[in-house]
Amino acid sequence: MAWSKLKQNLESFLCPALHGRVEYSSTSYRYLSDKAGLCYITVDKKNILNMSDTSNLIRWYQTEQEIKNDSNIQIPINHEEIEAVRKDTKGIVPEDRLQVMARSRKISEYAKVLLSAQSSLSKSNFIDVANKFLSTSIEESIESHDILLNILALVDRRVGKKRILNMAEKMKLKHPIVQYFYELRLSTL
């Protein structure tokens, strides 16, 4: 679906109080190979959620390093993970190094999970999720673990006052950007 049609469909689902306040935008650079383009959601003409294809790899690396350097994060390693590393290294690595390697692998996986939960999404991901939102039920979008699906559902006109008020406890467990859009929607009730 072309971006203009997708944007029109998304904006048709906005609750009446947010028409003109919440906008979906996209930029593309057709002739520049190093400029992939970006999508963003603005509220009252302020860029709130920015999705760029170019920064994802750098952000993932920073997240992994932050996890490795944070002493408060405890990532347990089990025997199966150590054995998997031993098998991959063909048993020539010392035991204490196996634990370090297994922990490093697990941290990398954890960083990838964190990245997918963060708001640094890519433009192509935004378009895929927006298409998914348009083809799934509002209940699935609200209950999803995908940040963007949650945001699109929160600003949707099909979500009424009673449902918004009943979500208060669930929203405490969501990503801060989802909480921001929840508060925005609450302010319109």
Token pair 């083809």 is found at 135
pLDDT tens digits, one per residue of 54-94: 555 545 556 667 777 777 666 778 889 889 888 988 888 88
pLDDT tens digits, one per residue of 12-60: 999 999 999 999 887 766 555 555 567 788 899 888 877 765 555 545 5
> Which residues, at least 6 apart from 172, have a Cβ–Cβ distance to it below 8 Å?
179
| Dihedral, CA of residue 176, residue 179, residue 184 and residue 188, to nearest 10 | 180
Residue that wins the pLDDT comparison between 171 and 121: 171
pLDDT tens digits, one per residue of 90-146: 888 888 888 888 888 888 777 776 666 554 456 667 888 889 999 999 999 998 888
- Answering whether pTM is above 0.75, one says no
Domain extents in the chain: 3-55+120-187, 56-117
Q: Rounded to whole angstroms, how far apart are CA atoms 68 and 141? A: 33
Predicted confidence at residue 61, as pLDDT, reads 53
Cα Dmax for the chain: 65
